[in-house]
């Protein structure tokens, strides 16, 4: 059907001469991406399709005719899931084009820069100490009874903070140690990337990862200097800040003689993999890939309690955009398969975004919530007892949905099965 595809490299993103990044103008409007786009599925409108957005991106990047408010609105409705990239025969680097366009837009329209709560949010994730102080304040809010009283009153609704507040998980404020040594036969030193949000909002996953890595014989190092991966800044049009954060993280992990740096949130992982390829002096791994690769044959795990034995897996877009393992499956299935007495199956609509999309949950609830509710309806149909995912953004978003048991990271289940 597409003769030119014969000339495409097997690897989706590289040619012999380097990365192959088609310009927006290379979109041939074939429409193969359309049915994979969550906003097109939601609105059933061409203006909400990737190929329509690619045309807008082309106008912005190449300074063509002015962009209408309507075009801008439909562009900004994009959840940045990048599912369109995974099916595009032109190997359209949609994410990179989107980031370039955002940077141009932000530079040209400084008045559109975030203000108020959004601006505060950017500063918190950028500056670790400020985020730590915010975490302490949120922990006091949760433990002092103020949260209970506010949730009972209508104040959160009146302040338009009800939805943002519902995303708040239990906040951890104690500092992690710099080094967690293994008591097993040593197999090497690994770095653990804790990110900004995961460090305070997903401590359970980080502690489970440390426990498993130590059990497998790895010394775990958590450099204090590390910080936010920069993904949100990159995707919102602040490449300078994103580059600064990237350089900072590379400096924090390099020189520690690590066999790997490991991340637990696939959203951060995608950004880390897109840093300068010459950056890290050791490989990067998703925790599920690393554990799967180094899992010894002689570990016996326990079955979980009888009421939690059927798991459904939500595969985050950030994980789908990265390559699966050689068998074509994400390692999460092989890893969970080590727990005896459980069944694990993908959610039926895993090819569609749940709507979380970085700050989309907060900036576009009218899109994020229906997408989440569809996802949860699929979960209910599976009759699974637990929903499992590897990205904190998706987990927070899905947890805030109606009547769902907590969404967990697979390593938490694995660490529990270890006893
Ligand atoms: S699949 Fe790629 S080439 Fe086809 S319309 Fe979508 S972006 Fe354009
Ligand atoms: S990134 Fe996702 S939401 Fe945006 S155009 Fe592509 S498929 Fe649609």
**Separation CA 66–CA 414 (nearest Å):** 53
Which stretches in the chain have pLDDT values below 50? 1-19
Helices (H), 364-409: 365-382, 392-399
CATH T-level fold of 310-418? Rossmann fold (3.40.50)
Q: Which helix (H) or strand (E) holds 192?
A: strand 188-193
Task: Output the six-digit token pair for 53.
Answer: 């957005």
Residue nearest (by alpha carbon) to ligand 1 atom 6 = 33
Picking from 179, 169, 174, the residue whose alpha carbon sits closest to that of residue 201 is: 169
Q: In this predicted model, what pLDDT tens digit does every residue of 360-408 receive, in sequence order?
A: 878 888 999 999 999 999 998 898 989 999 998 899 899 887 766 678 9
Q: Is 112 exposed, middle or buried (0-12, 13-18, 19+ CB in 10 A)?
A: exposed
pLDDT at residue 272, as a whole number: 95
Other CB atoms within a 10 A radius of the CB of residue 218 amount to 27
**Separation CA 390–CA 292 (nearest Å):** 14
Residues 6+ apart with CB under 8 A from 308: 385, 386
**Separation CA 211–CA 205 (nearest Å):** 10
Picking from 415, 402, 405, 387, the residue whose alpha carbon sits closest to that of residue 316 is: 387
**Separation CA 173–CA 22 (nearest Å):** 44
pLDDT at residue 132, as a whole number: 86
29 lines ligand 1 (CB under 6 A): yes
How is the chain split into domains, by residue range?
3-112, 116-166, 179-294, 310-418
pLDDT at residue 273, as a whole number: 92
Residue nearest (by alpha carbon) to ligand 1 atom 3 = 27
Task: Output the six-digit token pair for 324.
Answer: 């699966």
Residues 6+ apart with CB under 8 A from 410: 288, 313, 332, 335, 336, 388, 390
Same fold, 179-294 and 310-418: yes
The CATH number given to 3-112 is: 1.10.1060
Picking from 310, 288, 286, 304, the residue whose alpha carbon sits closest to that of residue 379 is: 310
Q: What separation in Å is there between the alpha carbon of 75 and the centre of ligand 2?
A: 9
pLDDT at residue 292, as a whole number: 93
pLDDT at residue 13, as a whole number: 42
pLDDT at residue 147, as a whole number: 80
Residues in the ligand 2 pocket, defined by CB under 6 Å: 36-39, 50, 53, 78-84, 94, 353
**Separation CA 370–CA 230 (nearest Å):** 28
Q: What separation in Å is there between the alpha carbon of 47 and the centre of ligand 1?
A: 14
Check: CATH 3.50.90.10 for 179-294? no
**Separation CA 179–CA 223 (nearest Å):** 8
**Separation CA 279–CA 332 (nearest Å):** 27
Residue nearest (by alpha carbon) to ligand 1 atom 4 = 30
Q: Please give the model's pTM, rounded to 2 decimal places.
A: 0.86
**Separation CA 121–CA 1 (nearest Å):** 47
């Amino acid at each position: 059907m597409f003769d030119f595809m014969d000339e495409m490299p097997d690897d989706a993103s590289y040619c012999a001469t380097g990365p192959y990044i088609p310009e927006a103008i290379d979109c041939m409007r074939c429409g193969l991406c359309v049915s994979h786009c969550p906003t097109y599925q939601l609105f059933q409108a061409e203006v909400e399709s990737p190929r329509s957005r690619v045309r807008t991106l082309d106008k912005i990047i190449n300074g063509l005719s002015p962009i209408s408010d309507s075009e801008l609105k439909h562009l900004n409705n994009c959840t940045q899931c990048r599912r369109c990239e995974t099916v595009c025969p032109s190997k359209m680097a949609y994410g990179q084009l989107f980031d370039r366009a955002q940077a141009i837009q932000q530079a040209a329209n400084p008045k559109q820069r975030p203000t108020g709560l959004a601006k505060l949010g950017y500063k918190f994730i950028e500056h670790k100490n400020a985020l730590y102080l915010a975490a302490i304040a949120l922990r006091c809010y949760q433990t002092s009874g103020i949260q209970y009283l506010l949730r009972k009153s209508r104040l959160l609704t009146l302040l338009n903070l009800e939805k943002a507040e519902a995303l708040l998980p239990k906040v951890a404020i104690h500092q992690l140690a710099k080094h967690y040594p293994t008591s097993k036969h040593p197999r090497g030193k690994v770095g653990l990337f804790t990110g900004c949000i995961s460090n305070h909002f997903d401590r359970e996953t980080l502690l489970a990862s440390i426990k498993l890595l130590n059990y497998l014989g790895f010394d775990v190092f958590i450099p204090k200097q590390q910080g936010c991966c920069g993904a949100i800044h990159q995707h919102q049009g602040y490449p300078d800040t994103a580059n600064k954060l990237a350089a900072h993280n590379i400096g924090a992990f390099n020189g520690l003689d690590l066999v790997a740096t490991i991340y637990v949130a696939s959203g951060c992982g995608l950004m880390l993999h897109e840093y300068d390829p010459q950056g890290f002096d050791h490989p990067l791994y998703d925790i599920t890939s690393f554990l799967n690769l180094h899992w010894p044959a002689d570990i016996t795990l326990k079955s979980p309690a009888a009421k939690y034995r059927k798991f459904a897996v939500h595969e985050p877009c950030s994980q789908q955009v990265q390559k699966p393992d050689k068998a074509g499956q994400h390692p999460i299935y092989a890893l969970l398969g080590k727990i005896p007495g459980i069944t694990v199956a993908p959610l039926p609509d895993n090819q569609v975004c749940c709507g979380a999309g970085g700050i989309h949950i907060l900036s576009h609830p009218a899109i994020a919530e229906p997408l989440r509710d569809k996802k949860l309806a699929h979960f209910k149909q599976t009759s699974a007892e637990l929903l499992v995912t590897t990205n904190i953004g998706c987990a927070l978003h899905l947890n805030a949905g109606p009547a769902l048991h907590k969404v967990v990271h697979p390593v938490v289940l694995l660490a529990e099965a270890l006893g």
